[in-house]
Structure 1
Amino acid sequence: MATPSNPSDSEVVYRRQNKGPPFKFLVPLVYAPVLPLIRLSLRKNPVLRDRLFTLVLAGAFVHGSYLVADLYDVESK
């Protein structure tokens, strides 16, 4: 009555534990100082300033909607 001690015979599922910080939630810490720096540093070139500011702000909104949609998707399952 020996039990098999070979680990390859048993069906054990190991999940990878995420030990790092959730970078997708830390991105707003980058957007917060970048937006005012764009406004201040490109004061002499208003066309480029406004286009870059709008592009970065749109990227922030897309990223935020991605995070919210991902959370709603997880909750609906």
Structure 2
Amino acid sequence: MATPPSDPQVVKRQRKSAPIKFLIPLIYAPVLPLIRLSLRHRPVLRDRLFTGVLVGAFAHGFYLVTDLYDIESK
């Protein structure tokens, strides 16, 4: 097993890909209209599912802009 270098100036490499939490709106955007279109014959289920997904989207956005996200990423 190799031991890590003892050099105190070792720099941690940053990930170059975008974090998945910032890509979630790209999923919400097409899902909301698809819910409205595909479930138009079942209005109760359509409205409940649409509301649930919309609440989830707002909760996710709220999580990202609050201090809770900053504490977790540090």
| Structure 1 letter corresponding to 2:42 | N
Displacement of 1:48 in angstroms is 0.6
Q: Does 12-21 or 50-59 show the bigger shift?
A: 12-21
- The total of aligned residue pairs comes to 68
Measure, in 1, the Cα distance between the counterparts of 2:8 and 2:20. 32
CA distance in 2 between counterparts of 1:29 and 1:64 reads: 13
What's 1:57 paired with?
54
Q: SS of the residue aligned with 1:19?
A: coil
Residue from 10, 13, 17 that aligns with 2:14:
17
Residue in structure 2 matched with residue 3 of structure 1 by the alignment: none
Provide the C-alpha distance between the structure 2 equivalents of 1:18 and 1:68, rounded to a whole number of angstroms.
21
Tell me how large the CA RMSD over aligned residues is: 2.4
What's the offset of the Cα at 1:36?
0.5
TM-score (normalised: structure 2):
0.75
Compare CA radii of gyration and give the structure with the larger one.
Answer: 1
The runs of at least 4 aligned residues of structure 1 exceeding 3 Å deviation read 7-10, 70-74
Distance in 2, matches of 1:29 and 1:9, equals 42
> What are structure 2's unaligned runs of at least 5 residues?
none
